[in-house]
Structures are given as structure tokens and as C-alpha cells.
Structure 1
Amino acid sequence: MKIAFFNTKSYDKEYFKNVNKESDIELTFFDGTLNCETTELTKGHQGVCVFVNDKLDADVIKSIAEKGVKLIALRCAGFNNVNLEAAQKHNIKVVRVPAYSPSAVAEHALALILTLNRKTHKAYNRVRESNFSLERLTGFNLKGKTVGVIGTGKIGAEFCTNMIGLGCNVIAQDPYPNDDLKSKGVKYMEIQQLLEQSDIISLHCPLTPESKHLINKATIKQMKPGVMLINTSRGALIKTKDAIKGLKKGHIGYLGIDVYEQEEGLFFNDLSENIIQDEDIMRLMSFPNVLITSHQAFFTREALEQIATTTVQNIQDFKEGKPLENEIVPKP
């Protein structure tokens, strides 16, 4: 079985080649994204392997179906970039990696919090320039602070546990409360209460039509002045322009994001010699209290190995006609 592998980076090749060496699956690696302009590359392949910035809308799916593609293998947990109805219409199966390393993302969210708070990135740069001053490096104790967690799936639950370990008061919002977290002291409440009470808010929910722009002008107004907002989930959970206004007014005191609403074409690329045309991200980068990483929360050795292992197994199960444990289907 031949799989067209899009959005390839050096680490993708390394981990997938290593995991796939015992398999008879043939991977063809392409650097570019899968979109309307690159569907011709799928000719001769029975499946495609894609990542978060590949856009599989109805037109792309129709095109790859006409070229014989029968499987879309996502090497990520999120699937908001795939039109599931179109895939079902064209008899294309969709599989994903539902959980590869919750610890990796939860720990990165904590890293953003600690860096923003204690300003270690600024201290590092100062000391390298022989500036040992502590001026404007004041932080705050995390112990005793109220941390609001929106979404307590596997990653959110891991994050809650980490914050409890640091002595924080953890509150949460999720349609499906986790009894284990409750037993550890996590209090579930409505989102408005969470926004009003939290010193730090961390987003760990999926991107759906209902959750898009969950953080907007109205919900920012409900937050405590000076709140710290962290997003390691999906960029469009935050309405960027409203977050910028919140930062300018000082209502958002800190913003740490590993994902960005318009990250396609930016993240995962070296644009150091380019003029960035995205005015919103350039504005965000100008704030001293904003920390941006480029979708690296998942990026650990353990996670990369698990992503490759699960993806190859998903493809192998499809090839052998076995039940697809990680299949995604449209909601009825």
C-alpha cells in the first residue's frame, strides 16, 4: 500500500522510517501541504498522511478520491481540518492519533506559564549580555493561585494534575466531568464562573463550531484584570483581534500561545529572511507580556515515536481490513 505523506519535516522521516521498517507500507514524502494545488501528487497512492495545516475540504477530498485515495491518516489528534461528511460521501476512511503524549502538551503549557511569570527568557538574554539586573523581572508564586482549565480530556487532566502538584487551586469546565480529578480536588463549574475566578486560564478543548472563538471580547471582559491566558490546543479558540485589544487595555496580563488562529503558512517554516505579512501575529510579537511558540507542545521524542507507531498501525489495519480503532466519522 502506498501512502502520500504531506508536510514532511526531517523528524517525520526519521521516526516514520524507523517505525515502518518492518512494514510493507510504502511512504512517499512530500514537503508541501495537501491542498487543491497539490492533489495531483496523490496519484498512484491509496492513502494520504496529513498534519494540522493540511486542508482537506470537500474539493480536495473529491479530487483525491478521483485519484484512488481510500484512506486519510491524520498524524495528530485534531481533525477540524478534514471535511468528514465529504470523506464519507466518497467512501474514504479517516483515522487519527487520539492520544500520543498528553504529558508533552501539558508540560509545555506549564513551561509557558513559568516562563511568562518568572521571565526566564528575558533573564537569559540579559545575562548573555552581562546584564545581571533584576529590574522588571518580578514574578508571582504559583502556589495558591486559581487555575481554570477549559477541557479536561487526557491533556487537560494531565495539566490539572501538574497544577495541583504545584499547590494551585484548580477549577475546570467540561461537558463530561472527570471523577478522578474531582477526587483530587478539582471543582467543575460553568464557564462564566471559571472566567471570573481564575488567575490563570489554560485551554485544552478541541476546536468545534461551538468552541471557535471561545475567547472573545465578551468572555475576556468576564476575566479578572491581569489574567494569564494559555493556549496549547487550537489557535481559533481565541479570536486574535479581541485578544490584542485585551492586551492593549491591560485586561489580559499575560498571553502564552503555542497555536495561532492563522498559523498555516507561518508555523513549521523558517521565515527569518522574509517579511511577515500577518499583521496580527506581528502585533502579538511586539508585546513584552506575550510568549509565542510555533506548535511545538507535542514535540518530544516519546510523542513522535507514538505518533509514528499509531499512524502506521492505523494504516496497516486499514490495509488488512481490520476494524479501525481510531476511525473518525461524522456526527449523526
Structure 2
Amino acid sequence: MKVAIFSTQSYDRLYLDRYKEGSQLELTYFDAALDEHTAGLTQGFEAVCIFVNDRVDLETANIISANGVRAVVLRCAGFNNVDVAAAHERGVKVLRVPAYSPQAVAEHTVALILTLNRKTHKAYNRVREHNFSLERMMGFNLYGKTVGVIGTGQIGAAFCRIMLGFGCTVIAYDPLPSPALKVQGVTYVPLEELLRTSDIISLHCPLTPATHHLINKEGFDMMKNGVMLINTSRGAVIQTRDAVQALKSEKLGYLGIDVYEQEENLFFRDLSERIVPDDLIARLMAFPNVLITAHQGFFTKEALQQIAVTTIKNLNDVALGTTSQNEILPESKVYR
């Protein structure tokens, strides 16, 4: 089966080629993202493989289905960038990697918290310039702080367990509370209570109509002054313009994000020699209490291995006509 792989980096090629051995898959790699402008590249392919910044909307689904594509296989868990109903109506299956390494994202979340709090990124730069002063480097103990977790699927659950290990009080909001996490010491509360009482808030929910701009001006107004907000889920869960205002008013004391609402125009690219026309991210980077990483929370050897293994299996299932538990049906709304 011929497969067009979009938005590829060197590491995608390395891992997918390694785990396709022994299969009948013919993989062709494209640097470009898949959307209605690049969908013509799918001519002659039976399946496409995409990542978080590719877009399979109605128009793209029309083009790829007309070109003979019969499956869209995601190299990620989230599928908010795919019009699943449109694909399904055109006979195009959609499959995903439901879980690869929850620990990878959870651990990166903790890295953002510790870096923002103890200012290790600033300390690194200072010491390299022979500045050994501790002025303006003070942090706070995580022990005893209240950490609010929004979304307790596999990643959120892994993060909860880590923060319990730090001696934090962990509260959570999720429409489907986890009995196991309750036993381990996590307390589920209404969203408004979580926003009001947390010292640190970490987002681990999928992007759905219900969670789009979940954290907005109204939410920021409920939070404690100086709260730390971390987002390693999807960028549009936060209303970025409202976050900028919360930073300006000092309501928001720290912001750490591994995702960004307009990241498809920025992330996974080297733009170091270009003018970046995104005024919002430029404004965010101007704040000394903001830390941005470029969607690298998933980026560990273990996660890339699992993504490649599951992706190749999904593609083989499509080639053989085998039913897969990783297929996304139109009624699917969220992942956990």
C-alpha cells in the first residue's frame, strides 16, 4: 500500500522506516503539511499519515477521497484537526495513536513548572556570563501547594501522581472522574472551585467545542493573584489574548505553554532567519515570566517508538482490511 506521510521531520523518517520492515508499505515523505492546498500531492496514494498541524477539513477530504485515499492515519492521539464525519461519509477511515507515552508529556509539564519556578533557564544564562548573583531568582516550595489538574485522562493521571509525590494537594476537574486517582489522593471538584483555589493549574484536556477557550477572561478573573498556568494539551484551550491581559495585570504570575493557538504557522519549523508576523506570540515572549516550548512534550525515544509501532500497525490494518480498535468513528468526541 502506498502511503503519503505529511509534516515529516528526520526523526519521523527514522522511526517509521525502522518499524515498517517486513510490511508491504511504501512510504513517501513530504515536508509540507496536508491541507486543501497540498492535498493534490495525494494522487496515487491509498493512505495519508498526518500529525497535529495537518488539516483534513471538508475541502481536503473531498480532494483526497477523489484521489483514491481510503484512510487518514494520525501520528498522535488528538483528532480535532480532522473532520471525521466528512471523511467517513466519503469512505475514508480515520485512525490514531490513542496513547504513546503519557509519562513523556506529564514529565515535560513538571519541567515547565520547575523551570518557571526556580528560573533555571535564567540561571544558566547568568552563570555563562559570570553573573553569580541570586537577585530576582527566588522561587517557592512546591511542597504543600494546591495543584489543579483539568483533564485526568492518561496524561493528566500521570501528572497527578507525580505532583502527589512532590507532596502537593492535588485537585482535579473532569466530567469522568477516575476512581483510581481518588484512591491515590486526588480530590475532584467543580471547575470554578479549582480555578479559585489552585496555586498551579495544569491543562490536560482534549480540544473539543466544550473546551475551546475554556480558560478565558472569566476564568482568569476567578484565579488567585500570581497563579501559575501550564498548558501541554492543545493551544486553543486558552484564549491567548485574555492570557496576555492576565499577564499584564499580574493576575497570572507564571505561564508555561508547550502548545499555542496558532502553532501550525510556527512550530516544527526553523524560522530563526525570518520575521515572525505573529504579534501574539511575540507579546508572550516579551514577558519574563512566560516559558514557551515548541510542542516537544511528547518528544522522547519511548514515545516516538510507540507512535511508529502503532502507526505502522494502523496502516497495515488498513492495507489488510482488518478492523482496528484505533479507528475513530464520527460519534467520537474526545480521547482519554
TM-score of Structure 1 vs Structure 2, range by shorter chain: over 0.9
> Counterpart of 1:28?
28
CA drift of 1:323 comes to 1.2
Answering whether residue 177 of structure 2 is matched by residue 169 of structure 1, we say no
Distance in 2 between the 1:144 and 1:276 partners? 41
Distance in 2 between the 1:31 and 1:137 partners? 41
CA drift of 1:13 comes to 0.4
Distance in 1 between the 2:43 and 2:315 partners? 18
> Counterpart of 2:182?
182
Distance in 2 between the 1:21 and 1:127 partners? 47
> Counterpart of 2:323?
323
Distance in 2 between the 1:152 and 1:67 partners? 40
What is the 5 A alignment of 1:243-322? 243-322=243-322
CA drift of 1:225 comes to 0.6
> Counterpart of 1:230?
230
Distance in 2 between the 1:319 and 1:11 partners? 24
CA drift of 1:289 comes to 0.1
> Counterpart of 2:45?
45
CA drift of 1:24 comes to 1.2
CA drift of 1:102 comes to 0.1
CA deviation vs aligned residue, 1:39-95 (integer Å, no higher than 9, x gap):
111011000000000011000000000000000000000000000110011010000
Distance in 2 between the 1:176 and 1:296 partners? 27
Distance in 1 between the 2:22 and 2:29 partners? 18
Distance in 1 between the 2:277 and 2:38 partners? 23
Distance in 1 between the 2:83 and 2:40 partners? 19
> Counterpart of 2:15?
15
- What SS is found at the alignment partner of 2:27? strand
Residue identity in the other structure for 2:21 = K
Distance in 2 between the 1:318 and 1:13 partners? 20
Answering whether residue 239 of structure 2 is matched by residue 239 of structure 1, we say yes
Distance in 2 between the 1:330 and 1:109 partners? 31
CA drift of 1:330 comes to 1.3
> Counterpart of 2:127?
127
CA deviation vs aligned residue, 1:217-238 (integer Å, no higher than 9, x gap):
0001001110000000000000
State the number of aligned residues.
332
CA deviation vs aligned residue, 1:262-312 (integer Å, no higher than 9, x gap):
001200000001111000000000000000000000000000000000000
Distance in 2 between the 1:24 and 1:94 partners? 20
Q: Which runs of 5+ in 2 are unaligned?
A: none
Residue identity in the other structure for 2:192 = Q
Residue identity in the other structure for 2:318 = F
CA drift of 1:187 comes to 0.3
> Counterpart of 1:205?
205
CA drift of 1:324 comes to 1.1
CA drift of 1:321 comes to 1.5
Distance in 2 between the 1:132 and 1:255 partners? 25
Distance in 1 between the 2:3 and 2:324 partners? 17
Q: Percent identity?
A: 61
- What SS is found at the alignment partner of 2:330? coil
> Counterpart of 1:85?
85
Residue identity in the other structure for 1:178 = S
Residue identity in the other structure for 1:235 = G
CA drift of 1:319 comes to 1.2
Residue identity in the other structure for 2:154 = K
Distance in 2 between the 1:327 and 1:198 partners? 37
CA deviation vs aligned residue, 1:29-48 (integer Å, no higher than 9, x gap):
00000111111110110000
Distance in 1 between the 2:154 and 2:209 partners? 21
Distance in 1 between the 2:178 and 2:63 partners? 42
Residue identity in the other structure for 1:262 = Q
CA RMSD of aligned residues (A): 0.7
Distance in 2 between the 1:225 and 1:99 partners? 35
Distance in 2 between the 1:118 and 1:257 partners? 16
Distance in 1 between the 2:144 and 2:8 partners? 43
TM-score normalised per structure 2: 0.98
Distance in 2 between the 1:60 and 1:40 partners? 9
CA deviation vs aligned residue, 1:3-29 (integer Å, no higher than 9, x gap):
100001000000000011221111000
What is the 5 A alignment of 1:189-200? 189-200=189-200
CA deviation vs aligned residue, 1:126-162 (integer Å, no higher than 9, x gap):
0000000000000000000000000000000000000
What is the 5 A alignment of 1:214-225? 214-225=214-225
CA drift of 1:171 comes to 0.1
Residue identity in the other structure for 2:223 = M
Residue identity in the other structure for 2:288 = P
> Counterpart of 1:100?
100
Distance in 2 between the 1:308 and 1:69 partners? 20
- What SS is found at the alignment partner of 2:115? helix
- What SS is found at the alignment partner of 1:264? helix
Q: Which runs of 5+ in 1 are unaligned?
A: none
- What SS is found at the alignment partner of 2:277? coil
Distance in 1 between the 2:227 and 2:306 partners? 35
